[in-house]
Structure 1
Amino acid sequence: MATPGFRPTHVVPGHGMPAWELPDPSRPTVPLDALLPVQLLERRGDWGRVLCANGWSAWVDARELVAVPQDPPVPGASPARTADPLPYLARAEQTLSRYRSAMEDLASGGLDGESFRDRTHGLRIGVVVEGEHVWLYDAEHGRWVYADGMRLSTFTTDEGPRADTGDPGLTATRVVSPDGP
């Protein structure tokens, strides 16, 4: 039976996810089932406290939660602000340009193999574009972000949750209470 007023804001990813009693990796609890609807109640850095329909709550890596589409905006209302994917695209272009330059220097004989490795050491890039959808690898924060033209959200991460992501653009999650937004 669902808790009165329960309205999911997210669902658990298709592979399920671990959960914790507190925002502390040493306090694991029962993992959450795949595609379970949850309501995000609170954020602490990468951690998120979620409420399940049966009233049970747990802490999860909130970056992995899949946002449930919200109702369309009311006519005349200002559009919701979302994180901007353009800085991620600019970083991808810069990284690709640096790699291409090193590759051209290697091909022309201006670099030897060791110098090429030194110039390209630490460069990481990932971009997948499919129509209006784009997945971009954010090497600075070790995560893939997804944008559909309307919103930008974390798709998956390289690490477990941390207390502070350092990127306020992606931590501005809509948090609701049992009484509504």
Structure 2
Amino acid sequence: MSKAPGPGFRPTHVVPPRGMPAWEAPDPARPTVPLDPLLPVQLMERRGDWSHIRCANGWAAWVDGRHLIAVPEDPPAAEGPAGTADPRPLLARAAEALADYRAAVGELTAGALDGEDFADRTRDLRIGIVVDGEKMWLYDPEESRWMYGDGRRLTTYATDRPVTGDTDAGHAPTRLVASDGEP
């Protein structure tokens, strides 16, 4: 269905906070796996209301482009002011969440968990990481925001919470709003 992205992958949009359906082609009769909430995607093509998007892992799909949330600004420049966070603690939390998920998958496949127990055990896990060379987009589930990092620092890239007057490195994060207008 798609090719792996080259080094040129740069999110241009994110999926709405409640996720969204996706299709193999711009045809409602060909649904595929729905997209996760706040997933960074790159817009590749538009055909009317249809948008062909690519994810960081190379997977591509068609979506109703009217519901994608544009990320209007480039990530902060590496030569800009220092970011607000050391990426290592957030990376460690992401590694722990992934280890918890991997353990639950192991127990599910071994028959030690049934589907309902698996869903209960993984319900509150949130992990999101896109790494492209030295660039990184990392989801911070405690703050409901995507962070951009260059290996040395993290700055807020997009959030689904109200944006205050505080910004990271002079970069006002994109505010994500649900398609019904509610944050």
TM-score, normalised on structure 1?
0.47
TM-score, normalised on structure 2?
0.46
| Larger-Rg structure | 1
Using CA pairs under 8 Å that are at least 6 residues apart, name the structure with larger relative contact order, 1 or 2. Answer: 1
Could you say which structure has the higher strand fraction? 1
